[in-house]
A and B are shown apart, each in its own frame.
Chain A
Amino acid sequence: DAGITQSPRHKVTETGTPVTLRCHQTENHRYMYWYRQDPGHGLRLIHYSYGVKDTDKGEVSDGYSVSRSKTEDFLLTLESATSSQTSVYFCAISESRSGEANYGYTFGSGTRLTVV
């Protein structure tokens, strides 16, 4: 999607290895998110960021960490990959909100991760 790119697009890794997924945006949006999508579970929030060095955990954060040292980059790290982390990972960005309104997300193209 224009303005947001994820890398890599596909990755196969071995159990126990660390893995880092990158999300890069050119929209200068303040808010960034990492979700995973699995059959039957929909999109589940892993971590999110409201700005540089401002991150917090989502509902499925165990085994994951994030970093945001620049507005444009949001990194997701699987500290020691497990088979249960085989999934499709989506990064999303959103504009700063006005009051309580949420303007919705733009998603990246996703990373398909397989842990063997």
Chain B
Amino acid sequence: QKEVEQNSGPLSVPEGAIASLNCTYSDRGSQSFFWYRQYSGKSPELIMSIYSNGDKEDGRFTAQLNKASQYVSLLIRDSQPSDSATYLCAYGKGRRALTFGSGTRLQVQP
């Protein structure tokens, strides 16, 4: 079992719709969770961090964490073509370096 599982996609949504990206992780001791956005040929960019169960909202982005289910998700409201990218999920535990998933490719259709 991979430490971080993400559907590789592509996930295709129409412009203006809600995009839902999901991630499961295997380490129950994980304490911090992150979503990164990576445009093709570019470096990953941190867009959301979440540390506690529940929802965290930042603009059009909402991260949801459920530690009991070992599940973290990212919702993107009012999706725009500029949101088309690969989204990487990552988790951290104590001093350990972050562990990343392989990413989900999102395509927003105009």
Q: How close is A19's CB to chain B, nearest CB, in angstroms? A: 20
Interface size class of B (residues with CB under 8 A): 20 to 34
Residues in B13-49 with C-beta less than 8 Å from chain A:
31-32, 34, 42-46, 49
A38 vs B93: C-alpha distance in the bound complex, in angstroms? 24
Q: Contact at A102–B102, with CB atoms within 8 Å?
A: no
Q: Contact at B46–A101, with CB atoms within 8 Å?
A: no
Q: Contact at B51–A105, with CB atoms within 8 Å?
A: no
Interface size class of A (residues with CB under 8 A): 20 to 34
Q: Is A106 an interface residue (CB 8 A)?
A: yes
Inside 8 A of B44's CB, which chain A residues have their CB? 43, 90, 105, 107
Per-residue 0/1 for B98-110: is the Cβ within 8 Å of any A Cβ (1 yes, 0 no)? 1111110000000
A107 vs B100: C-alpha distance in the bound complex, in angstroms? 13
Inside 8 A of A48's CB, which chain B residues have their CB? 97
Q: Contact at B100–A43, with CB atoms within 8 Å?
A: yes
State the A residues within 8 Å of B (CB): 1, 33, 35, 40-45, 48, 50, 58, 90, 97, 100-110
A-B contact pairs, 9 of them (CB 8 A): A42-B101, A43-B88, A45-B99, A97-B95, A101-B32, A104-B49, A104-B98, A105-B98, A107-B43
